[in-house]
Structure 1
Amino acid sequence: MSVLRPHGSAFSGRLGWGRAPAVVVVDLVRAYTDRDGPFGLPDPEPAVAATQLLVDAARADGHPVVWTVVRYAPGLADAGLFVHKVPALACFGEDAPGHWGELTLKPGAGEPVVVKQYASAFFGTTLASTLHGLGVDTLVVAGVSTSGCVRATATDALNYGFRPQVVRQACADRTPALHDSNLADLDAKYADVVDLPEALAHL
């Protein structure tokens, strides 16, 4: 029995940029960016600074900026099985102490904040219809963590017909190895991984 094997052209095509980009900032909240937070990252500052540059560029040229946060009802009634797999998610309950769900950067007036319960910013939310309504065709993805909510959001962006552009310097994860390996896999199959100067030029 023969086994199908990928050849040289099976991966690494490019989605490219459309004409109407938007920036989505995924879960860039205190739980990750405060070093003593439940998901505290070892070096979040570069990703925060790069995200601010993306947001500033989008605002300056009139492109939409959308923010996401994780939030659960008191008692975690809507947390499903996710909170059993990752118990630290309980920090995002409305009745949890610490205010860990507060955004690290401040949304501008009129910029939507999408509340989600799972990894993808699209799952169970209005994000896709909001972006389609704004005429967006390209989604510039920043935030945390690369292997979790950034990856899930970028993958679903492709599923919903957007061109996901994941900005390498504007994402972060628990270790550089996790960050790099997930970016490599995203770039191979689900998104274009781009450097900050390229993203800024397109915004």
Structure 2
Amino acid sequence: MDSAKNLLLIRDLTIAFTESHSQLAIKLENQISATQRLIEESLLLKIPIIFSTTIYDSDHKVSRLWCEKFPSLQILDRESKWVNIHPALSDYPFDMITPTVYITSIYDSPVDEFLQKCQVDTIILAGATTSGSIRANAVDALQRGYRVIIPSEAVGDRNQSLHNSTLIDLNARYADVMNLEKVLKGMKR
């Protein structure tokens, strides 16, 4: 991360993905506290922060197609409580909060323009799910020329073995998967 122009992108640490009674909930360990530390370090260092939420829109073809494969997404209606940011994260001053029907936060959204405007070259990813939107964002970001860093403690999935194998694959192909302390230290350079 030496002399990089970093950006923190948080995906789907919303009620739907963090409340244990939700059908979309990840195996929650320390993702919220790890993300808080990333946010606080980003604010201190004036690193831009984007929070992106998945929404379901029955009028949008992508939502309907995705829901054919994964019907649980229907709870993510834009007006539902499920898309609210986790309470421990909701009071932070994000540079952008953006809802999306897409698996990646960058595709067909104001995020791409924001990244270019801020001259970002490195995206730090946090959130859910490791095998879904985190993977999709890592691939999309790399294809657009951004270095991707994933703090392993700041991402999660519904299945631990899928989470672990996805992190191994992401590190091998698309991103630098690191422990949180190494990421935080690198952000200061």
Task: Note whether the superposition's TM-score is higher than 0.5.
Answer: yes
Query: Is the contact between residue 50 and residue 94 of structure 2 (CA under 8 Å) also seen in structure 1?
Result: no
User: Which among 33, 41, 49 is matched to residue 33 of structure 2?
Assistant: 49
Query: How many residue pairs get matched?
Result: 183
The structure with more radius of gyration: 1
- Counterpart of 1:151 in structure 2 is 135
| Partners of 1:18 and 1:163 within 8 A in 2 | no
Corresponding residue for 2:78? Answer: 94
Whether 1:85 aligns to 2:69 is yes
Consecutive unaligned residues in structure 2, runs of 5 or more? none
**Contact 1:17-1:163 at 8 Å conserved across structures:** no
Shift of 1:95: 5.2
Take 2:127 and 2:164, find their aligned partners in 1: how far apart are those partners? Answer: 14
Which residue does 1:141 correspond to in 2? 125
Matching of residues 54-133 of structure 1 within 5 Å: 54-73=38-57, 76-78=58-60, 79-94=63-78, 96=80, 99-104=81-86, 105-106=89-90, 108-109=92-93, 111-133=95-117
Q: In the superposition, relative to structure 1, how do residues 109 and 190 fare at CA in structure 2: closer, same or farther (>3 Å)?
A: same
Separation (CA, whole Å) in 2 of partners of 1:91 and 1:60: 35
1:165 alignment partner in structure 2: 149
Q: Deviations over 1:147-186 (max 9, x none)?
A: 0000100111101111000110100111221111001101
- What do you get for the CA RMSD once the two structures are aligned? 1.5
Quote the residue 2:183 is aligned against: 199
Further displaced range: 165-174 or 119-128: 119-128
Matched residue SS, 1:81: helix
- The question of whether the paired residues in 2 share the 8 Å contact of 1:26 and 1:143 is answered with yes
Amino acid at match of 2:115: L
Aligned counterparts, 1:3-22, within 5 A: 19-22=4-7
The percentage of counterpart residues that share the same residue type is: 28
**Per-residue deviation, 1:37:** 1.1
Distance 2:25 2:152 in 1: 19
Gaps of 5+ in 1: 1-15
Q: Distance in 2 between matches of 1:17 and 1:47?
A: 25
Deviation at 1:123, TM superposition (A): 2.0
The 1:110–1:183 alpha-carbon spacing in structure 2 relative to 1, beyond 3 Å, is closer
- The 1:22–1:181 alpha-carbon spacing in structure 2 relative to 1, beyond 3 Å, is same
Q: Is the 8 A contact 1:67 1:107 kept in 2?
A: no
- TM norm structure 1: 0.85
CA contact (8 A) 1:18 1:137 kept: no
Amino acid of the residue matched to residue 85 of structure 2? L
- Alignment partner of 2:34: what SS? helix
- Tell me which protein shows more helix as a share of its residues: 2
